[in-house]
Amino acid sequence: MKSAVKQLTGRRSFLRSGAAALSAGFWADSTLEGAVQNTQRNSNPSALRITDLRVATLARAPFTCPIIRIDTNQGVSGYGEVRDGASKTYALFLKSRILNENPCNIEKIFRKLRQFGGHGRQAGGVVAIEMALWDLVGKVYNVPVWQMLGGKYRDRIRCYSDTPDSRDPKVFGERMKRRIQEQGFTWLKMDIGIQMLRNVPGAISRPTQVDFRQEHTFTGIELTDKGCAAMADYIMQVREVAGWDIPISTDHFGKMGENSIIKLARAFEKCNLAWMEDTIPWYRTEQLKRITAAVDVPICTGEDIYLKEPFEVLCRERAVDIIQPDLSTSGGILETKRIGDMAQDCGIPMAMHMAGSPVANFANVHCAAATEGFLVLENHSVDIPWWDSLVDGVEKPICNKGYVKVPDGPGLGFTLNEEAVKQHLLEPGYFEPTPQWDKERSQDWIYS
């Protein structure tokens, strides 16, 4: 018994001496300082509260791009972006719904706001706030957004780019070839619409007066075999110059009926296209199913769809081969990841539409990094010389040889370049206070 007590006493003595040594070494003052140096000390997450929402609107970046900033009581801010071409008012009128909320409750706030979104640009305000919250919370916890989404599948994001068009396919082909050889792109897109057939007799049948506000099927415009052959021949001539190795996607065909789209897609089959985008409105599920089933060109849609459920219908019904949400419309960073994961379960890849500033770009980059079924991301700004200057703290050029490096910095991973942004504002005012929106309320039907 005495021997057992002696052994136990010896072990305790050893542990005490070991702990003392560990404390003197590992927990030395300099080491302890190093262990906490990356913590956001001026932020107590549980006590964080939103105090303001401010806006600075960029011009031609590549379109009108309202950038929002959400401020807090602890001096931490986050940036988001209203979708290209949309009004800053979409975000400002939601300010009163988020004041005094804890920004760390991203999903709670999103569920409170999503009733105010809608298909197309109407989702701009909801998504800009969701985007800014992810940026803000990442800064609070000192982690990148992709880490909060569960980690990343890739360190860089493949991008595709549009190219300025030309009626001469040889000229256009040379422009695309330069995108490949000089800029390093491995995926391209081209607009090829019925406007190119305007002076080709017998290519289109159409009423003498067309109301182009009408949906595709109701315009009365149809393509002839000659028109389809002319458009396919244009792509083939571009292919001969640019090459056959690179994926080329197509868009902006014009408003025509389902039968003409099928006829055109069959003519395009020899062109080896990556996809035909937005052939008819996305909500025409049965028509899209018939088109997709009838042709061997991948059919793609989604840039105007809000929330996961409509994408789920398209995927479940096999109405498309590829989905293409615009994160600034689809519901934001987390909702778009959910859309991509759902599509992957259906065997359908996710391309991503994006035509905004670097703020929206990096929101997309984090989402794409964290989504296994991601395919390729649009970058509509490679010809804007000052676009990269709008942000700092990231690898430049931002789009380098057709890829964007995924940032490792906290939040969305960039810092805004104040001077560069001020040089490219659409209107006066750089994140001015907006007290006039503090009490903009209505009898909201949920979470009011």
Q: pTM here?
A: 0.89
Q: What is the rounded distance in angstroms from the CA atom of residue 375 to the CA atom of residue 396? A: 22
Residue 371 shares a structural domain with residue 399: yes
Find the largest Cα–Cα distance for the chain: 110
Q: What is the rounded distance in angstroms from the CA atom of residue 254 to the CA atom of residue 192? A: 9
What pLDDT score does 444 carry?
74
What pLDDT score does 33 carry?
44
Residue 366 shares a structural domain with residue 242: yes
What pLDDT score does 330 carry?
98
Which of 422, 425, 356 minimizes the C-alpha distance to 57? Answer: 425
**What are 236's two structure tokens?**
């083939």
Residue 207 shares a structural domain with residue 83: no
The single-letter DSSP state of residue 160 is: E
**What are 309's two structure tokens?**
């459920």
What pLDDT score does 209 carry?
86
Residue 267 shares a structural domain with residue 306: yes
Number of other residues whose CB lies within 10 A of the CB of residue 342: 19
Residue 366 shares a structural domain with residue 278: yes
CATH classification of the domain holding 361: 3.20.20.120
Q: Are strands 391-392 and 415-416 parallel, antiparallel or unpaired?
A: antiparallel
**Domain count across the chain:** 2
Q: Classify the C-alpha dihedral 276-281-286-290 as positive or negative.
A: negative
Segments forming the whole domain that contains residue 99: 45-142+430-437
Residue 189 shares a structural domain with residue 336: yes
Residue 344 shares a structural domain with residue 404: yes
- Mapped onto helix, strand or coil, the DSSP state of residue 97 is helix
Number of other residues whose CB lies within 10 A of the CB of residue 201: 7
* Contact (CB, 8 A) for 231 and 267: yes
Please state the length of the chain. 448
239: Cβ contacts below 8 Å, ≥ 6 apart: 173, 248, 271, 272
Residue 202 shares a structural domain with residue 294: yes
The single-letter DSSP state of residue 82 is: P
Residue 138 shares a structural domain with residue 154: no
Phi, psi torsion values for 225, nearest 5 degrees: -60, -35
Is residue 243 a part of any domain in this protein? yes
Q: What is the rounded distance in angstroms from the CA atom of residue 189 to the CA atom of residue 248? A: 5
Residue 65 shares a structural domain with residue 80: yes
Number of other residues whose CB lies within 10 A of the CB of residue 64: 19
Which regions in the chain score pLDDT beneath 70? 1-42, 445-448
Q: Are strands 204-205 and 222-223 parallel, antiparallel or unpaired?
A: antiparallel
Residue 164 shares a structural domain with residue 198: yes
- Mapped onto helix, strand or coil, the DSSP state of residue 143 is coil
